[in-house]
A and B are shown apart, each in its own frame.
Chain A
Amino acid sequence: MKNEKHALNGIKVVEWSLAITGPWVGKCLGDHGAEVIKIESTVNQDVTRLSVPYAGGIAHPDRSATFLRFNTSKRSITLNLKTDEGKAILEELIAWADVFFNNQRPGAMKRLGLSYERIRKINPSIIAMDISNYGQTGPYSEAGGWGNMTMAMGGHTFLTRDRDMVPTAPGWLATADVIGPMNALVAVLAALDYRRRTGNGMYLDVSQLEALVHFLGVGLLDYSANGRVQQPIGNHDPEYAPHGAYPCRGDDQWCAIAVTSENEWQNLCRCMGDPLWAKEARFGNMASRKIHEDELDRRIGEWTRSFEKRELMEWLQSKGIPAGAVQNIADVLEEDPQVKAHDLYPRIEHPVMGECYHGGWPFLLSKTPTRMSTCPCLGADNDYVLNDILGVGDERFVELMTEGILE
């Protein structure tokens, strides 16, 4: 770690954010070398600090493994922004920063007296970013919301299901909370380069909703061109068959198989031992297989049942057939050769939680690897931020502490 170059070394970031979408942006910038200061409060804590699961089952802001997911490689300072002195410290940090972003509910920045006009007065070349569910303007803006709502409004929930099911989304998370920060990262990284080239900072208003709607480009054009309202197709494909998840040996074990050409189909037939049913005319070409895909799925499902999912995947892949074991969390964290080869879940020591999984990035940069440190305990860096960065001096530091500004 010592002599490595990190891509974003030297970039100074201040985030006033909570939950998932905002913090994830700061994590990425920090993991790649930027200095990221997270503004927190002991009274008004980031909701994920108060979320299960807690390490050791003990509810404590420094023990939330959910908070850990989104807050690596940052410094934490607690500031009471309801006090003038707390706001003054925040303004000093804005003057210091290259990037200042938040994902508070729209309107919160103005109530704090920190409109973009004001921020730009403090720091004319800053990149200031608001991140929200639907953007800072428009009829839905003020209500704010959660990722499950944006997934619903962005069409992802409607489309994620089989033909006859009720709309389903993954019950354990909202993917909008993953997509939103990626959109914000694209914005801020493009802005950093733009500023390097032109000297100009800018204001960015990034929403989850716009990003999610872009995922549906094909369906939206189909609606515009043909008036058709795209319907869910589950694991199937508009053209290819077989295309599904098939049961394997054991409880809740499955393997996905997706045949995209005649050649792959022939190979699959050979693997199945060229059964008679596969020679029937109705399975003779892609279009006909597509029409009879329910029957096709049933037949293939009978065959896959006797295999172990990973064995089946690796065997079919060796014959050039796209196939993949349906991995659960345990498989991914403990057995997945790619996760291991790419060190996607490094185990890092946290001062309270001990050594545990930290999440990396799904791209490897050949010259500038990531440098991840664990998430900060609440207010752990008050001293560093106030003294080393802002140089407030001992007297003021003691004053800030005793007057409740650092709460």
Chain B
Amino acid sequence: MLSGYRVIDLTDEKGAFCTKMMGDLGADVVKIEKPGGDPLRKRPPFFGDTPDPEKSLPWHALHNGKRGITMDIEREKGAKIMRRLVASADFLVSSLPAPEVRGKGLVYDDLSDINKRIVVTSITPFGLTGSWSDYRAGDLVVMATGGMMSMTGDPDGPPLRLNPDHAYYIASYKALVGTLIANYYRGISGEGQHVDSSIHDSVVREFYYPVPVYEFEGYVPKRVGDKGVRAGKIFRQRFRCKDGYVTWFFHGGRVGSSTNIAISQWADEESIPDTVNVTDWTKFDVWRASQEDLDAVMDRFATLIAKFSKKEIRDELVKRKIRAAVIDDIEDIAGNPQLQSKDFWVSLDHPRMERPLLYPGDLFYSSETKVRIRRRAPMIGEHNDEIYRNELGMTDEDMTELTKEGVI
């Protein structure tokens, strides 16, 4: 869907998922690494657990679908090549810290002098303006400042971040939304612009429900462990089964009725005592019910679920169309029948690995074109020849000189 567009990629793990998705969408993404290799190549885990810059799995997860060149943009000759690339690019996406964005001439005003159509996206911890804009932060720090941690975890334990690097991924998604809005506008106006994307702000804009709770119910939502809270009522969200956990959120009324009827029927079949005896689930109002009645319904579900294994429960939930789910780990996901039915997984070889890796494939389905991983991540400097020689027309002498000087 984005074929024909060229993206210059100056991202690290904070923003690499944004440009990875642009690759899935068909854009030609050129990842620029420092000579010698990107720092992400040193991050574990590695293929075969052997540290090797070509075998870092974070590198392969985040930079697949891209071509790779090495270039030191801090050297004058590097900066000069960079300007040539900028002149022919449609997008530049960076996740360098704010002071470096300003210091390296990567702000929109500098780049638009070279190419007024370019869309420049910066993904930084706190955005390029505001008194925290120069602060250093990784995933944990912005999860903290962004408010999500204060509401996640046990009430008597420390605040907890979401699954590793959640902030980077959600910020990458939102930065891409901003980038594609700017892209559409460029298409009709001929003008590029700057997309100043903040990871902190991306996390802040995740908590939808707590804002009205604070504003209209007048209290600050705190950690509730594995529970959920609505209208002051406590809803269990975790139910232990034989070999794991199940999640179910108890909805009332018409919305929850088909699931509630199916659960009730299943529990009857298993002869689990019913103390609430709801006769018409479409009229059961969870907002008005007593906590005791809610607990009785949830306890009955807990007793039911405890009798079965994850696999048995999965089958029953699908068969009975119950809106509850098993809490899956990575292995469960790899075997998820829904994903398998959609031919989701993509296997790709790598010259330095003995076996192919299985990657998550499609982002979504489009009737016009596949939107999924197109190639494995590049090796260090893998596309130097292709881009410097074939596309920028450099000679052997140019290349030797730049290599000798440590520019590429």
Quick check: is A167 within 8 A (CB to CB) of the other chain?
Answer: yes
Residue contact A182 to B222, C-beta cutoff 8 Å? no
Q: Which chain B positions have C-beta within 8 A of A143?
A: 317-318, 321-323
Q: Given A138-B337, A234-B160, A320-B136, answer yes or no on A332-B204 (Cβ-Cβ < 8 Å).
A: yes
29 cross-chain CB contacts under 8 A:
A53-B216, A66-B209, A66-B212, A145-B325, A149-B323, A158-B327, A166-B245, A175-B170, A178-B170, A182-B170, A185-B177, A185-B180, A193-B2, A205-B364, A214-B363, A218-B62, A220-B330, A222-B57, A228-B45, A230-B330, A313-B145, A345-B211, A357-B212, A363-B121, A363-B198, A365-B185, A365-B196, A367-B191, A368-B182
Within the complex, which residue of A140, A162, A187, A256 is in contact with B140, where a contact is CB–CB below 8 Å?
Answer: A256
Q: Given A162-B157, A328-B220, answer yes or no on A194-B1 (Cβ-Cβ < 8 Å).
A: yes
Q: Which chain B positions have C-beta within 8 A of A154?
A: 328, 333
Q: A138-B337, A254-B150, A368-B182 are in contact. List 9 more A-B contacts (CB 8 A).
A: A65-B212, A70-B208, A135-B338, A143-B322, A154-B333, A229-B329, A235-B161, A341-B129, A365-B181
Q: Which chain A positions have C-beta within 8 A of B44?
A: 238-239
- How far in angstroms is the closest Cβ of chain A from B7? 13
Binary contact track B47-69/A, C-beta < 8 Å → 1, others 0: 11100000001101110000000
Identify the stretch in A88-96, A195-203, A382-390 within 8 Å (CB) of chain B at 4 or more residues.
A195-203
> From B178, which residue of chain A is reached at the shortest CB distance?
A363
Identify the stretch in B73-81, B226-234, B265-273 within 8 Å (CB) of chain A at 4 or more residues.
B226-234
Task: Give Cα A156–Cα B170 distance, bound, in whole angstroms.
Answer: 13
Within the complex, which residue of B43, B170, B216, B328 is in contact with A153, where a contact is CB–CB below 8 Å?
Answer: B328
Residue contact B140 to A338, C-beta cutoff 8 Å? no
Residue contact B144 to A326, C-beta cutoff 8 Å? yes
Quick check: is B247 within 8 A (CB to CB) of the other chain?
Answer: yes
Residue contact A210 to B57, C-beta cutoff 8 Å? no
- How far in angstroms is the closest Cβ of chain A from B103? 16
Q: Which chain A positions have C-beta within 8 A of B393?
A: none
- How far in angstroms is the closest Cβ of chain A from B40? 11
Q: Which chain B positions have C-beta within 8 A of A5?
A: 185, 189
Residue contact A173 to B183, C-beta cutoff 8 Å? no
Residue contact A167 to B170, C-beta cutoff 8 Å? no
Q: Given A179-B173, A332-B147, A357-B215, answer yes or no on A166-B226 (Cβ-Cβ < 8 Å).
A: yes
Within the complex, which residue of B48, B204, B222, B342 is in contact with A362, where a contact is CB–CB below 8 Å?
Answer: B204
Residue contact B153 to A168, C-beta cutoff 8 Å? yes
Identify the stretch in B30-38, B365-373, B398-406 within 8 Å (CB) of chain A at 4 or more residues.
B365-373
Residue contact A226 to B159, C-beta cutoff 8 Å? no
Q: Which chain B positions have C-beta within 8 A of A303?
A: none
Residue contact A187 to B364, C-beta cutoff 8 Å? yes
A interface residue count range (under 10 / 10 to 19 / 20 to 34 / 35 or more): 35 or more
Quick check: is B41 within 8 A (CB to CB) of the other chain?
Answer: no
Task: Give Cα A154–Cα B344 distance, bound, in whole angstroms.
Answer: 13
Residue contact A235 to B140, C-beta cutoff 8 Å? yes
- How far in angstroms is the closest Cβ of chain B from A265? 14
Within the complex, which residue of B130, B150, B198, B325 is in contact with A328, where a contact is CB–CB below 8 Å?
Answer: B150
- How far in angstroms is the closest Cβ of chain B from A190? 4
Binary contact track B127-158/A, C-beta < 8 Å → 1, others 0: 10111110111101111111111111110011
Residue contact A190 to B25, C-beta cutoff 8 Å? yes
Q: Which chain B positions have C-beta within 8 A of A246?
A: 158
Task: Give Cα A191–Cα B183 distance, bound, in whole angstroms.
Answer: 11
Task: Give Cα A50–Cα B256 distance, bound, in whole angstroms.
Answer: 13
Q: Which chain B positions have C-beta within 8 A of A194?
A: 1-2, 368
Residue contact B145 to A327, C-beta cutoff 8 Å? yes
Task: Give Cα A362–Cα B177 distance, bound, in whole angstroms.
Answer: 10
Q: Which chain A positions have C-beta within 8 A of B181?
A: 7-8, 32, 189, 365, 368
Residue contact A220 to B358, C-beta cutoff 8 Å? yes
Quick check: is B86 within 8 A (CB to CB) of the other chain?
Answer: no
